Amino acid sequence: LTLRQDRVPSGIRGPAFGLVIEVYRFDGSFLSLVQDLPEAAIKGLTLNHFIAVHLRVAREHPIEIYARLNVQHGPNHEQIVRQFDIRGDIGRAEFDLAYTKINEKRLEKAWLDLILEGPEMNRLAIWDMVLLRAPRADI
């Protein structure tokens, strides 16, 4: 398993560098990368919000990628898993917090796991990842 930072190919707008993961022999069934969400991301978070994750990714071979949103509220921990809908090199996963049991008054921290299912003998480049928090539309 190798992790390195590479310059983003020309023609792709966004950050100058991305994360390249190369997996060779791998005994596990999945690989997980964890990103802590900043305190500002959970400040004022309510069940009326949704969180979206956008990925710009290049894959040597097709691979299933999941996003797991973890929210700790008091002694409890809520996990929501969504598979990325990847079209070309753009992926998107959304979490609607209205369907969770999160206690809004006890939010402590949140983090996102990127889960790569069966990553053996593959190269994956994450050129950009954006997390978006927004209120749900009132209908």
For 74-132, the pLDDT digits (tens) are 899 999 999 999 999 999 999 999 999 999 999 999 999 999 999 999 999 999 999 99
| pLDDT at residue 79, rounded to an integer | 96
**Please, which pLDDT band fits residue 10 given cuts at 50, 70 and 90?**
confident
| pLDDT at residue 136, rounded to an integer | 86
Q: Are the beta carbons of 96 and 82 closer than 8 angstroms? A: no
Of 4-13, 15-24, 27-36, 105-114, which gets the smallest average pLDDT? 4-13
**18: exposed, middle or buried (Cβ count in 10 Å: 0-12, 13-18, 19+):** buried
Q: What pairing do the DSSP bridges indicate for beta strands 107-117 and 90-96?
A: unpaired
Give the mean pLDDT of 12-38. 92
**Rounded mean pLDDT of the chain?**
93
Is the model's pLDDT at 15 over the cut of 90? Answer: no
pTM: 0.90
